[in-house]
Amino acid sequence: MASVSCSSSLNKAVRQQYMSLPQGGKCQVTYIWIDGTGEGLRNKTRTLDSEPKSLEDIPEWNFDGSSTYQAEGSNSDMYLKPVRIFRDPFTLDPNKLVLCEVLKYNRLPAADMVFLSRLETNLRQSCNEVMEQVKEHCIWFGMEQEYTLLGIDGHPYSWPVNGYPAPQGPYYCGVGAQNAYGRDIVECHYKACLYAGIQIYGTNAEVMPSQWEFQVGPCEGIEMGDQLWVARFLLHRVCEDFGVVATLDPKPMTGNWNGAGCHTNISTKEMRNENGLIYIEKAIKRLSKKHDEHIAVYDPHGGQDNIRRLTGLHETASIKEFSAGVANRGASIRIPRQVGQEQKGYFEDRRPAANCDPYAVTKAIANTCLLDPEDEEKSE
């Protein structure tokens, strides 16, 4: 069995003794933010004199950006701007988790300082601007977050140390100790999401053993990115307690094993109404014309991670070409069979990688499908 961290074996009964102590009317608030890699999450906690009732009750804070790939040491202070509050499932009420945007000294969105690329990593601000522009369409998103459980040695959790489990087949939505590896983590994460106020839709075991999925949504506009990032934070924290690592690598195991994606479901008010399939087909046509642009933002490394996953095998389309079809999990875009029958509903973009930034994905989709469509149609 893959190794687990030493921290997970600390005496939890002793910990509970302290966790049960009263707080004297004070409130712990944990600030959460995305670091300069565009993938990693960071957090730190402070005490407030009382439970915050709204964002206005939570002060801005700061941190050392030179230690998170977001600033140089000579000018390292970064601002944490609270944008959404959640209940804290680890220290319980009245304590809170607060998702934050990261701003530089000049109040502009934070940028990546890894390899001095200086690419913007606080993508929430620009995403929110687009979502405000398309607000009348009431665009809903649902994102299916796949992930893989690893030991701290990097080997898939519960896989044989010097070998492989039986081939894929019995694991998807499977049950039984021989098929489902790490269900305790999945169920604890589910409960933590519900307690926090995450719009978690469901969960299931995936095709590769030790691979799982949870779904968040439907969420409207900017809320999709907010909710998925905090759901990811909760996953990493739950895994920390169990001494296991959750990776969002799009292809954690080479060979005849499924990769991990973040399939994104999209629906506008027009798509949900009668004959909404017309608007779904229009959106897919627009997406077909910007395939390369979308691939470039569907993982944090400009498509380089997705190259390993989108091969045309293992329930994926090829990264090199765009395709769409009803009930086709080997296509770039899938229209669910029920949607085809009812002529309304939603469609699924299967291209985003598991480690995508949901702000980048939802912004690109909203941009392509809803902004300036008349100009595009006139040019056809």
Q: What is the mean pLDDT of residues 53-71?
A: 94
CB of 266 within 8 A of CB of 368? no
For helices 183-196 and 223-242, what crossing angle results, to 10°?
Answer: 140
The terminus-to-terminus CA distance of the chain in angstroms comes to 58
**pLDDT top residue among 266 and 120:** 266
Looking at the chain, the whole-number percentage of residues with pLDDT higher than 90 is: 85
Report how far apart, in Å, the C-alpha atoms of 340 and of each of 139, 281, 328, 345 are: 19, 11, 12, 9
Q: What is the pLDDT of residue 109?
A: 77
| pLDDT tens-digit series, residues 145-169 | 999 999 999 999 999 988 899 999 9
Give this prediction's pTM.
0.95
CB of 79 within 8 A of CB of 107? yes
**Looking at 103-112, 198-207, 210-219, which range is the least confident one?**
103-112
Looking at the chain, the whole-number percentage of residues with pLDDT higher than 70 is: 94
Q: Which residues are within 8 A (CB) of 295 and not within 5 positions of it... i.e. 6 or more apart?
A: 303, 306, 310, 319, 351
Q: What is the DSSP code (8-state) at residue 92?
A: -
**pLDDT top residue among 376 and 321:** 321
Q: What is the pLDDT of residue 163?
A: 84
Q: What is the mean pLDDT of residues 211-237?
A: 98
CA 26 to chain centre: 31
Q: What is the mean pLDDT of residues 58-78?
A: 90
Q: Say if residue 220's pLDDT is above 90.
A: yes
Q: Say if residue 112's pLDDT is above 60.
A: no
| pLDDT tens-digit series, residues 32-54 | 999 999 999 999 999 999 999 99
CB of 353 within 8 A of CB of 298? yes
- Nearest-CA neighbor of 183 among 263, 231, 238, 257? 238
Tokens standing for 141?
Answer: 């998103």
Confidence of residue 266 (pLDDT cuts 50, 70, 90): very high
With H, G, I as helix, E, B as strand and everything else as coil, classify residue 83: strand
Domains, in order of start, for the chain = 7-122 (3.10.20.70), 133-378 (3.30.590.10)
Mean pLDDT of the chain, nearest integer: 93
**pLDDT top residue among 218 and 117:** 218
What is 185-213 written as a DSSP string? HHHHHHHHHHHHT--EEEEEE-SSTTEEE
CB of 185 within 8 A of CB of 242? yes
Q: What is the pLDDT of residue 3?
A: 79
